[in-house]
Amino acid sequence: MHDTTGQHDDIGADIWFNWNTAGAATDPAGPAPDVPAHPARPGALTGVFFDETLRDGLQAPNVRNPSLDEKLALVDHMVRAGVRSADLGFPGSDPAAVQECVEVARHVAAQGHPLALGYAGRTHPADIHAIGEIAQRAQVPVEAYVFIGVSPIRQYVEDWDIATIQRHVREAALTCRHEGAEFVLVLEDAVRCTPEVLGRVYDAAIEAGAARLTLCDTVGAAVPAGTRALLRWSRAYFADRGHPVGFEWHGHNDRGLALANSLTALAEGCERVHGTILGIGERAGNASLDQLIVNSHLDGHGRYDLDALRAYAAYASDVLGVGIPQNYPALGRDVFKTSAGVHASAILKAHRKGNALVKDMVYSAVPAGLLGREQEVLVDEASGTNNVKYWLTVHGYDSENPTYLKKVLARAKASRGPLTDEQIRQIIATAE
């Protein structure tokens, strides 16, 4: 095992700061007042999911870079599913990227898609100019998601100081105004940034007139309590200074908590929460956009087309070369299948009551019908009589025929996997 003992004895303790253990951090300028759990802000976009698939998602080493036509199809899919804002690229990377971003923006406009167009860039003027070029050439409004690292560990590694970060924030805001792009300040690694440093960066954001700010869990270090602490402290900081700001959340999944942190951010009043289809992205990936949408839809916090979402995920899986695990929540091949006898008994009883929704939810938190699927009761070596009865019932056979029940169940117990519909039909045919 790699020994790190003593390797940071000469480094200040703040470099290892994490909001997970900060609790109710103290405002460096004094105690901050309480603020509402869900603050209202004029013109705010409450609970909107920001699709990062075509930017952050494509940074994953195992993801195939799609063609322009495939990117346009992905945009069509995300809109059909109910996505209303997206990061559509990093135009500052090279001239080809600018041209492709322009083509995507023109497609969105031509299709009349209700999609807010965001583009990522560093605080460098060249990156922001590239974003402004999209607005000018495609004749559409754009949002510039301008990012800069702020955590002490990033400052230490990059040899940055706070004054430099403040200057970049102020200059980026001015450049965005000059380019006609809406300025969204993105603070990388905010989860590991001390209150003292954040306060000084926030002061620069206030001076620059920033109206929107994205807090990033860049390395997936947060837990829900840390997410809550950071957002509550940040909201209080701006409220105390009389400067309304809309917060967004961008999370990664290194600790497997991106979904939980993102749902916490929504509960804390974030106006936008970022994610990617199937959670793709660098390292362990980003927050899963599809899981965010499913949870939001089921909890009544938004209306989405989950069948269209399934189609989006299937298409993305194909063109990006990313498999969907068979047990992946809501979208996996096996998530609506059961072979347990107790489950089969309850589903059969629900089926006989004639209520499709009850049948769909008696042993599932996610109704399969919303995703264009059905609950599936398998007949295999783990099954009981009720599994066979269910199959016979839904396929129009006599579910109480003892010969059918005995022969199908005997064959299932001797099999190494679930019986197919055709196999069961053959067993019944030979039993008659």
Does position 24 have pLDDT exceeding 50, yes or no? Answer: no
Domain 14-320 has CATH 3.20.20.70: yes
Domain assignments of the chain as residue spans, ordered by start: 14-320, 337-431
Range list of β-strands (E), 211-323: 212-217, 246-251, 272-275
Q: Dump strand ranges (E) for 44-198.
A: 48-51, 85-87, 116-122, 143-149, 182-188
- Tell the residue number behind the tokens 């949408």, with chain if given: 293
Count of other CB atoms within 10 angstroms of residue 90: 23
* pLDDT value at residue 5: 38
Q: State the pLDDT confidence band at 8, using cuts at 50, 70 and 90.
A: very low
Residue 22 or residue 368, greater confidence: 368
Alpha-carbon distance 41 to 243, whole Å?
10
Instruction: Judge whether residue 27 has pLDDT over 90.
Output: no
Q: Is the pLDDT of residue 7 over 50?
A: no
pLDDT at 17: 80
Tell me: pLDDT of 233 over 90: yes
The 3-state DSSP class for residue 330 equals coil
What is the pLDDT at residue 19?
Answer: 85
Query: pLDDT confidence of 23, banded at 50, 70, 90?
Result: low
Give residue 21's pLDDT: 73
Residue with more model confidence, 416 or 124: 124
Give residue-wise pLDDT tens across range 144-186: 999 999 999 999 999 889 999 999 999 999 999 999 999 999 9
- Write down the pLDDT at residue 41: 53
Of 126-130, 277-281, 379-383, which range is least confident? 379-383
What radius of gyration, in Å, describes the C-alpha atoms of the chain? 26
Point out the least confidently predicted range of 152-156, 290-294, 428-432.
428-432
Give the whole-angstrom CA distance, residue 85 versus residue 182.
14
Task: Summarize pLDDT for 117-126 with one digit per residue, the tens.
Answer: 999 999 999 9
Q: What's residue 11's pLDDT?
A: 59
pLDDT at 236: 97
Query: In sequence order, what are the residues at sequence separation of 6 or more whose Cβ sits closer than 8 angstroms to the Cβ of residue 156?
Result: 11, 15
Phi, psi of 288 (to 5 degrees): -80, 110
The predicted pLDDT at position 2 comes to: 39
Three-state DSSP state, 290: helix
Q: For residue range 372-393, what is the model confidence (pLDDT) as tens digits?
A: 999 999 999 989 999 999 999 9
pLDDT at 223: 97
* Residue 110, H or E segment: helix 95-111
- Short-list 149, 214, 136, 216, CA closest to 181: 136
**Residue with more model confidence, 1 or 211:** 211
Dihedral angle sign, alpha carbons of residues 256, 257, 263, 265: negative
Long-range contacts of the stretch 345-353 (C-beta < 8 A, 24+): 345/384, 345/386, 347/375, 347/377, 347/390, 348/377, 348/386, 348/389, 348/390, 348/393, 351/390, 351/393, 351/394, 352/393
Residues 423-432 have a mean pLDDT of 91
Q: Which range among 207-211, 274-278, 299-303 shows the weakest confidence by mean pLDDT?
A: 299-303
Rounded to two decimals, the pTM is 0.89
pLDDT surpasses 50 at 6: no
Q: Give residue 295's pLDDT.
A: 95
End-to-end CA distance of the chain: 66
- Tell me: pLDDT of 4 over 70: no
Encoded amino acid at 218, one letter: T
Q: How large is the average pLDDT for residues 390-401?
A: 94
Q: How confident is the model at residue 31 (pLDDT cuts 50, 70, 90)?
A: very low
What is the percent of the chain where pLDDT is above 70?
Answer: 91
Mean pLDDT of all residues belonging to the chain: 91
pLDDT of residue 46: 42
**Can you give the pLDDT at residue 135?**
97
Best CA proximity match to 216, nearest among 204, 203, 200, 234: 234
Percentage of the chain lying above the pLDDT 90 cut:
84
